[in-house]
Structure 1
Amino acid sequence: MACILKRRSLVVVGVIVVCFFLMVLRLISEMKLPLQRNSFDKPIARWMPFSYPQNGSIRTHFGYVNIRTHEPLQLDCDLCAIVSNSGQMSGQRVGNEIDQSSCVWRMNNAPTKSFEEDVGRRTTIRVVSHTSVPLLLKDPDYFFKETNSTLFVIWGPFRNMRTDGNGIIYNMLRKAADRYTDAKIYVTTEKRMSYCDGVFKKETGKDRPG
């Protein structure tokens, strides 16, 4: 019985990780960034740009809205560094290279403190699952005050993100936004979440677990 429960837990975790990457890939595809990967004989996979002219424009992403102002996310990146939460980053010493990217993406509450040499210092965007919001709120001063230049993009099912007072995660985020007025917290719209769920089902053949 314990083995079955452990196997189910691993499946759920795997599904959530796939959701994260689909969300990130969707945002990046909207930015139209031409990227290529280093050869596979490298110890880690790094993303490097083709020749890409900087147009200086800011793109508007209507599927993500500010939780306080309800304005859509505005963002444009020339070169993105998507930093893994994996322990394999330890000892890689690519922090300076990561920080040179125009946008640095991280997942959930992945730490940077004490790991700057390996993972860098800057965080432009954190893509956060609704299940990880309580982890952010365990150290709100760090996430929403000390790092107030970071954009937080929160995703989750409608039942947790509904805005009528019954969305438990949305309510948590509203309280955080009211307390930390400079925090840049964005949530996915119901339409965008439905789109991402559709992509997930098409790619995996399964419904995303609630």
Structure 2
Amino acid sequence: MAKLQNSAGQPMRQQSHRMVIFIAIFILMTLLILYSSNNNNESIYTPFNVAANNALRSTDLKKWAGKDGYVPVYGNKNMSLHCRNCALVTSSSHVLGSQAGEEIDRTECVIRMNDAPTLGYETDVGNRTSLRVVAHSSVFRVVRRPNEFLRHSDSNSMIIFWGPPNKIGKDAKGTLYRLIQRVSMTYSNMSCFSVTPIKMRRFDSLFHRETGRDRQKSHSWLSTGWFTMVMAIEICDNIKVYGMVPPNHCGKKSVSKKMPYHYYKPRGPDECVTYLQNESSRRGNHHRFITEKQVFARWAKQYNITFTHPKW
């Protein structure tokens, strides 16, 4: 009878022993996952106050600037543009109703971004373009409307294309680079440049220095606004920015009216919704618009930058 009890109890003890081992392994794996997550917390982007972080290192962008970071897409032209006063016209719908067009056109140099049009919006955004900064993702939209973006500009105006070197770099052999090259050859009134791979890495390093965040680890994409602001500081002695909201704008309770993200897309996404979603999103790569604007606010004190429509 005792033998029967022993033989029955042994499987029970073995099963209990396996359960203890399983629980121990589960707890250990959970702890390892939590430890790994804490050690890689840069991959989870959370908004923070750049302006209040005294540990960040500021870069002298006037010394950081280098015309060698821009290479002609075709020919042997030099990126030698320099302006005393610049109007940087954003693509925000806050420029609508500003009636700033005449003031913008009187400015020595006018800087625009991507495929932001002037035709039909001259009263608010002006008509002239001295420099247009174009992301690789906007090249096709610009080329599809040559009368607007390629023929209709200042004499000797410039386009600077930025993007992954394998798409727009000198060594790129894809469709996009050939298209940029053809544009440069066709429209002799314009000087077309691309940002070199070394300069692209320096833009990443600048973001890290100014925000404390590694761009890649924090799953961030630099916006065209980031590139354009840096280029404007390189080129201009004084900059007046039209249409850019301050970094705390979308957190104000008084902001109730929806504003389209782009002034030329009235049915497009809401600006504040776009900013907030991009700033806090943890999956995929996103522009960190609010973080970038915190940096711009700090740069404004160093590089003679003023903001209007809205004024801040």
TM-score, scaled relative to structure 2: 0.46
1:191 corresponds to which residue? 198
Write the distance in 1 (CA, Å) between the matches of 2:63 and 2:86. 10
Does the 8 Å contact 2:130/2:153 carry over to 1?
Answer: no
Report 1 or 2 for greater relative contact order, CA contacts < 8 Å, sequence distance ≥ 6.
2
Q: How does 1:155-174 map to 2 (within 5 A)?
A: 155-174=162-181
Q: How does 1:24-63 map to 2 (within 5 A)?
A: 29-30=61-62, 61-63=67-69
2:9 corresponds to which residue? none
Write the distance in 2 (CA, Å) between the matches of 1:106 and 1:164. 27
Q: How does 1:76-91 map to 2 (within 5 A)?
A: 76-91=82-97
1:97 corresponds to which residue? 103
1:117 corresponds to which residue? 123
Question: Cα 1:197–1:138, aligned 2, differ >3 Å: closer, same or farther?
Answer: same
Deviation at 1:31, TM superposition (A): 9.5
Aligned partner of residue 112 in structure 2, secondary structure: strand
Write the distance in 1 (CA, Å) between the matches of 2:112 and 2:80. 18
Deviation at 1:72, TM superposition (A): 2.7
Equivalent residues, number: 158
Write the distance in 2 (CA, Å) between the matches of 1:107 and 1:175. 20
Structure 1 vs Structure 2 CA RMSD: 2.7
Write the distance in 2 (CA, Å) between the matches of 1:70 and 1:194. 24
Does the 8 Å contact 1:152/1:186 carry over to 2?
Answer: yes
What amino acid is the match of 1:85? Answer: S
Write the distance in 1 (CA, Å) between the matches of 2:194 and 2:76. 9
Deviation at 1:66, TM superposition (A): 1.9
2:187 corresponds to which residue? 180
Question: Cα 1:110–1:31, aligned 2, differ >3 Å: closer, same or farther?
Answer: farther
Does the 8 Å contact 2:207/2:215 carry over to 1?
Answer: yes
1:10-51 Cα distance to aligned partner (Å, 9 max, x none) = xxxxxxxxxxxxxxxx9xx4499xxxxxxxxxxxxxxxxxxx
1:107 corresponds to which residue? 113
Question: Cα 1:69–1:126, aligned 2, differ >3 Å: closer, same or farther?
Answer: same
Question: Cα 1:70–1:195, aligned 2, differ >3 Å: closer, same or farther?
Answer: farther
2:208 corresponds to which residue? 201
Write the distance in 1 (CA, Å) between the matches of 2:154 and 2:187. 9
Establish whether residue 143 from structure 1 lines up as the match of residue 149 from structure 2: yes
- Structure 2 unaligned regions, length at least 5: 1-58, 222-284, 286-312
Write the distance in 2 (CA, Å) between the matches of 1:92 and 1:142. 22
Answer with 1 or 2: which has the greater Rg: 2
Going by fraction, where is helix more abundant, 1 or 2? 2
Aligned partner of residue 83 in structure 2, secondary structure: coil
Question: Cα 1:191–1:185, aligned 2, differ >3 Å: closer, same or farther?
Answer: same
Deviation at 1:137, TM superposition (A): 1.1
2:230 corresponds to which residue? none
| Stretch of structure 1 that moved more, 95-104 or 174-183 | 174-183
Establish whether residue 69 from structure 1 lines up as the match of residue 78 from structure 2: no
What amino acid is the match of 1:132? Answer: S
Q: How does 1:11-26 map to 2 (within 5 A)?
A: none
Determine what percentage of the aligned residue pairs are the same residue: 31
| Stretch of structure 1 that moved more, 98-107 or 136-145 | 136-145
Question: Cα 1:64–1:30, aligned 2, differ >3 Å: closer, same or farther?
Answer: farther
Q: List structure 1 segments (4+ residues) > 4 angstroms apart after TM superposition.
A: none
Does the 8 Å contact 1:60/1:73 carry over to 2?
Answer: no
Does the 8 Å contact 1:153/1:187 carry over to 2?
Answer: yes
TM-score, scaled relative to structure 1: 0.66
Write the distance in 1 (CA, Å) between the matches of 2:62 and 2:132. 17
2:226 corresponds to which residue? none
Write the distance in 2 (CA, Å) between the matches of 1:71 and 1:77. 18
